[in-house]
């Protein structure tokens, strides 16, 4: 699983500063940060995977570096890839992570596999 360790460290640092205790799981081709048993954010290659409120999805796609997350060939509503140019600045990364944290309490948990 290839993901940018430096970006993962930056995410960890911001979560630590915000007193967020996320569980890390290697999945979806990268590293996911789970909160309340739900994917909150992740890192794959050099991109941030952001799980955000579907209500702000279209607006979020207009931000620098943002694009639809399309693992299966069709976009997943509420999930956004943010390319490096959209998260190079720590404040930009913090802003994306805050959107993820704001949505997490509203997000549905994935069904547990047996």
Instruction: Give the pLDDT confidence of 23-62 residue by residue, as tens digits.
Output: 999 986 799 999 999 999 999 999 999 999 999 999 999 9
- pTM for this prediction: 0.91
Q: Determine phi and psi for 59, rounding to 5 degrees.
A: -65, -40
Has residue 90 been placed in a domain?
yes
pLDDT of residue 20: 96
Residue 12 is part of a domain; what is its CATH number?
3.90.1150.30
Has residue 112 been placed in a domain?
no
CA distance 49 to 47: 6
Has residue 59 been placed in a domain?
yes
Provide the domain count of the chain: 1
Has residue 89 been placed in a domain?
yes
Has residue 88 been placed in a domain?
yes
Q: Domain of residue 79: give its range.
A: 5-106
Mean pLDDT value of segment 88-104: 97
**Rounded to the nearest 10 degrees, how much is the dihedral formed by the CA atoms of 106, 66, 69, 102?**
-10
pLDDT of residue 113: 57
Mean pLDDT value of segment 88-101: 97
CA distance 72 to 21: 30
The sign of the torsion formed by the CA atoms of 13, 46, 92, 21 equals negative
pLDDT of residue 114: 55
CA distance 49 to 30: 9
Residue 83 confidence (pLDDT) above 60: yes
Has residue 14 been placed in a domain?
yes
Has residue 111 been placed in a domain?
no
Has residue 20 been placed in a domain?
yes
Mean pLDDT of the chain: 92
Burial of 38 (0-12, 13-18, 19+ CB in 10 A): middle
């Amino acid at each position: 699983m290839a993901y940018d360790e430096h970006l993962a460290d930056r995410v960890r640092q911001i979560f630590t500063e915000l007193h967020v205790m996320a569980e890390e799981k290697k999945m979806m081709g990268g590293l996911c940060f789970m909160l309340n048993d739900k994917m909150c954010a992740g890192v794959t290659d050099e991109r941030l995977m952001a799980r955000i409120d579907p209500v702000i999805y279209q607006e979020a796609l207009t931000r620098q570096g943002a694009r639809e997350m399309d693992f299966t060939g069709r976009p997943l509503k509420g999930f956004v890839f943010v390319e490096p140019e959209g998260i190079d600045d720590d404040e930009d990364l913090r802003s994306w992570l805050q959107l993820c944290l704001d949505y997490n309490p509203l997000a549905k948990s994935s069904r547990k596999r047996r």
